[in-house]
A and B are shown apart, each in its own frame.
Chain A
Amino acid sequence: AQRVTQPEKLLSVFKGAPVELKCNYSYSGSPELFWYVQYSRQRLQLLLRHISRESIKGFTADLNKGETSFHLKKPFAQEEDSAMYYCALEISGNTGKLIFGQGTTLQVKP
């Protein structure tokens, strides 16, 4: 079955602390994975995609096929990182169909 799991509904950290938002997936093909973010009163937007191997706003995510994971990490959290984060798996390259995880709210306290 195709599935994306984000086990934490809420992750609360202090400013300057490291952050890791967990994402696990189940997929029989070669996975294409994304992290999307929704800041307060803003639209859902792409944060990063694994194929680009880029770092956006200090966040990185490494695809671990052995553990079927795509955890999002940042070494030092900032208050402006507070948002809802969704991990997503592309299940059809022809149509761009995505399966999203349940989402994790990141709260960065001052």
Chain B
Amino acid sequence: DAGITQSPRHKVTETGTPVTLRCHQTENHRYMYWYRQDPGHGLRLIHYSYGVKDTDKGEVSDGYSVSRSKTEDFLLTLESATSSQTSVYFCAISEAGQQPYEQYFGPGTRLTVT
């Protein structure tokens, strides 16, 4: 497995609380991505980063924010968690300059919002 870890691996939280998920890589890859995985929807991109402090929205970014202050860390924050954000969240990384880009995935974080 590529050096990608996610924390926490499991979390249960209540509606309305803020939640932060962390993705950490040891590969020094430039690009990092956050996806959510839901039955019937596959994986959908939430946000991605193309460098330190450089981030952009994906297709399902509402209710989520991200930050990348270091190459190795990409944080996903749910400002005020809702039940619709119950999902499995995956982080991925890829390296620029090697087209087409293979993405390497983390182990996932299972988030339940009650």
Interface residues of A (CB under 8 A from B): 4, 6, 9, 32, 34, 43-46, 49, 51, 86, 90, 93, 95-103
Contacts and interface: CB of A to CB of B under 8 A. Distances in A.
Interface in B71-114: 90, 92, 94, 96, 99-108
Contacts of B103: 46, 96, 98
B45 to A, nearest CB: 6
Contacts of A93: 99-100
Interface of B: 1, 31, 33, 35, 40-45, 48, 50, 56, 58-59, 90, 92, 94, 96, 99-108
A99 B101 CA distance: 13
Contacts of B58: 97
Contact of B48 (A46, A51, A95): A95
Given A86-B43, A100-B44, A32 B1 contact: no
A90 B31 CA distance: 14
Contacts of B45: 97-99
10 contacts: A43-B1, A43-B107, A44-B90, A45-B105, A86-B42, A95-B50, A95-B56, A96-B94, A100-B42, A102-B42
A51 B98 CA distance: 12
B50 to A, nearest CB: 6
Given A43-B1, A44-B105, A96-B94, A102 B41 contact: yes
